[in-house]
Amino acid sequence: MKTAAVICEWNPFHRGHQVLLEQMRQSGCTHIVGIMSGHFTQRAEPAFADKYTRAAAALSAGADLVIELPVFFSCFGAQRFALGGIQTAEALGNVEELFFGSESGDLPQLTAVARLLREERFSKALRPFLQQGLSYAAARTEAVRTLSGEACAALLCRPNDSLGIEYISALQAVSSRITPHAVLRTGCGHEELQPQGEFASSSAIRARQKAGERWLSFLPEEAGKIIGNASLPDPDRLETALLYRLRSMTAEELKHLPEVEEGLEHRLLRALSESTSIEQVLERAKTKRYTHARLKRILLYALLHFCRDDLPQEVPYIRVLGMSQRGQEVLRSAGQTARVPLLLRHKDSLSLSGEARRRYEQDSRCDDIFSLCYEPVLPAGYFRTKGIVRVSS
């Protein structure tokens, strides 16, 4: 048994994702685990479909076990997103390899940059660029360019390579024995909106679905049937709830949101006082340091009631969303190796205590907020009643 993991959003699962799983099989992986974002993603948006539907689509296309990356990691920046994914793989206890898509496919160079980002000389090189008011991402790229040249800096400008560097860095940080593999990305770029033949990025698929254009053909056939037959949420339905939450917050409450620094809370309050939509808030509050993407995350933290000083530093449990027969074999093995509780159904959470129990309740409240995206609105607790997805293959 050779178990490999992929940290993912599968938002939605498309043909490029399927190619990655096929390449994992060809490399000798007998069991594939997807560590997948739940109902809120790194783009600071509600997911394209609910997590059980997305898990079912992935299982139909070759995954064996889908477990959830908890929300207090899934909707954060790349560093925390990657750390949560790696911690989840480590907590399972039987994952041997990690695969990720990469624009370069150059694992040695990605590893070298990941190592550099953990060195003191990088921290020193970073400071002057931050003091110039650059965003962290831009400052990091400039610091790496200064220390290691253009080729290494270019890796940080490519979304999959940049995230791969964070995966490798997280593996290094926890002294993991999991072996990373960078797989050359197939098909469209991460943010590319123009399809290439039968391939389209998740961003393109979401945009086409919203515009009422053809999109299902870019998914594997069975995955397309599953997602095409599902009721899909409308992220725009959260806007009023988010505006209410933001307008009810004080400067002191905004100050304690994750990623809020340097008096941003006051800038947000001014933007809120002049705005009637979230897009207006983002446009009026953004700066060179606080980009549109970072501000979107901050606003989502507000909606989900996250506090900078109350974020878990470790994954408290493993929540199973779906599995095949091979996935059951991974779970049986994990019964001996897992370092945190395994949750297959809501009643399993009743055995949690202390911090783990509190985090489960927090995670479940975020599911209830996601339920507001539907027409009609789903009842609170709806996703606690969902059983895990099981497939026979």
- Are 224 and 326 members of one domain? yes
Distance CA 69, CA 79 (A): 14
DSSP output for 14-76: -HHHHHHHHHHHHTT-SEEEEEEE-SB-TTSSB-SS-HHHHHHHHHHTT-SEEEEE-HHHHTS
The CATH number linked to 8 is: 3.40.50.620
377, two tokens = 């609105």
304, 308, 312, 318 alpha-carbon torsion, rounded to 10°: 30
Helix and strand numbers (H, E) in the chain are: 18, 8
pLDDT tens by residue, 281-325: 999 999 888 999 999 999 999 999 999 999 999 999 999 999 999
Tell me the one-letter amino acid at 166.
E
Instruction: Classify residue 7 by its DSSP letter.
Output: E
pLDDT tens by residue, 127-149: 999 999 898 999 999 999 999 99
Q: Choose among 163, 201, 231, 227: nearest CA to 7.
A: 163
Q: Does any domain span residue 209?
A: no
Q: How many domains does the chain have?
A: 3
- Are 298 and 335 members of one domain? no
Q: Choose among 111, 100, 62, 78: nearest CA to 184.
A: 100
- Are 278 and 145 members of one domain? no
Give the distance between the most distant pair of CA atoms in the chain.
Answer: 59
Cβ contact 272:247 at 8 Å = yes
Q: Does any domain span residue 163?
A: no
Q: What's the mean pLDDT in 10-16?
A: 96
Examine the pLDDT at 192 and tell me if it is beyond 90.
Answer: no
The mean pLDDT of the chain is: 95
- Are 326 and 225 members of one domain? yes
Examine the pLDDT at 163 and tell me if it is beyond 80.
Answer: yes
Q: Which residue has 């870019």 as its token pair? A: 218
pLDDT band at residue 186 under the 50/70/90 scheme: confident
Q: Does any domain span residue 44?
A: yes
Q: Does any domain span residue 167?
A: no
pLDDT tens by residue, 60-90: 999 999 999 999 999 999 999 999 999 999 9
289: three-class secondary structure by DSSP:
coil
pLDDT tens by residue, 315-370: 999 999 999 999 999 999 999 999 999 999 999 999 999 999 999 999 999 999 99
* Domain that residue 256 falls in: 236-303
Pairing of the two strands 318-323 and 342-343:
parallel
Where is pLDDT greater, at 288 or 214?
A: 214
- Are 8 and 85 members of one domain? yes
